[in-house]
Chains A and B, each alone.
Chain A
């Protein structure tokens, strides 16, 4: 049985931050509870105060921002709400592709995208996608103010992020992809969570690759950007040969941790395969061969 706790129901992010200031290590942020309650049931963590951020009114919506150049997804928005959102379907269909295969429909019904990111489980689907997403940032709010943090500054170690003790994530910002950019998310799943996941964003102008963003997730404590692979692709013509070379570079850059999702060598091989597939599909989408 869980240890007893009080649930606080703040109305604003500032009130939530005040409560986190007041109770310190005795308190934690509570939203969907899909990951938090499991670790509390296992006795791996216990808190006397849960700060239920779902009672904050203006973090429940998805809308366009920055003169319609970016999406703002509120921190209380569930995976299922994203999966079934016409706004997301129109502007960020890769997120729907990712959400459809995340855990199962019950977890997606309760769990939030922001909660998944803040929990920072090493096999997170959204972490890898956000890490690769050009210009993505996370909005963190506290009594000290609001700041935007980039994904590669946010994920520090397993279950550890740049979110300070008195901060809550209030939104996820995802710029819309410019014309000529395609995206793809490929993963290999044996259990509920991926053994390896690869997100790729590729820009193609004419027959030349103009930019590539590749993030590999689930193989280590945090997702990593395969920057050597990205740089190799610049100026190349889209095709199997450069993608194989980039996939090799992405696999070489990995420092996989063997776990029940796969051994070190198994994960490295999956990185090769999934990176090639993700680059292929992202560039086909960039060139309009395949529509997402």
Chain B
């Protein structure tokens, strides 16, 4: 079995089934931005250090700049465009807004998705767990404290919605 230089990708992006004829060498970030026009996913360092290009694959965070679109065959991909529902921000997005957890906003899609991945597996993280999980998402504006506040607030907000 092999996958030729061009192949048919079948995947799910933000809950919608997607079929596309693409080159095997296509990086996930380019598939999202160039093929699907989902430009909320940001390219920055291009070497998996900064976290701007974070998307979730089956709920797990990956650097879309350094993974092949081939890898998301038959998987569920979530990008920042998939979070708001019917014009209403996701509780994590709302928390970043409320706590001023952003300035220029370039790292924010990655920060928000990394936060979602964290809270999915650990709904009530302590500060050290938050810092450890988000240590690979860099922000050059905020000094991180408003981001930490936003994550704490998102954790509380999601817990309230549950109850």
Contacts and interface: CB of A to CB of B under 8 A. Distances in A.
Interface of A: 1-11, 33-34, 37-38, 41, 55, 80, 100, 103-107, 109-110, 192
Nearest to A8: B2
10 closest Cβ pairs, A-B complex = A104-B136, A2-B25, A9-B1, A7-B3, A4-B5, A8-B2, A106-B63, A109-B60, A37-B66, A106-B61
B154 to A, nearest CB: 17
Contact of A1 (B24, B25, B137): B25
A41 B60 CA distance: 23
Given A2-B25, A7-B70, A109 B61 contact: yes
B3 A107 contact: no
B126 interface: no
Contact of A109 (B23, B62, B137): B62
A100 B61 CA distance: 15
Interface in B56-115: 60-63, 66-68, 70-71, 114
Task: Identify the interface centre among A38, A106, A110, A192: most chain B CB within 10 Å of its CB.
Answer: A106
B120 interface: no
27 contacts: A2-B27, A4-B23, A4-B25, A5-B24, A5-B25, A6-B2, A7-B3, A8-B1, A8-B3, A9-B2, A10-B1, A11-B1, A33-B67, A34-B66, A37-B67, A38-B47, A38-B66, A41-B27, A41-B46, A41-B66, A55-B1, A103-B48, A104-B48, A105-B117, A105-B136, A107-B63, A110-B63
B49 interface: yes
A37 B68 contact: yes
Interface string B129-162: 0001101110000000000000000000000000
B29 to A, nearest CB: 11
B51 A106 contact: yes
A99 to B, nearest CB: 12
B41 interface: no
A1 B46 CA distance: 12
B54 interface: yes
Interface residues of B, number: 31
Contacts of B1: 8-11, 55
Contacts of A100: 132
A104 B23 CA distance: 28
B163 interface: no
A105 B23 CA distance: 27
Nearest to B2: A8
Task: Identify the interface centre among A1, A4, A37: most chain B CB within 10 Å of its CB.
Answer: A37
A5 B62 contact: no
Given A5-B5, A103-B136, A33 B66 contact: yes
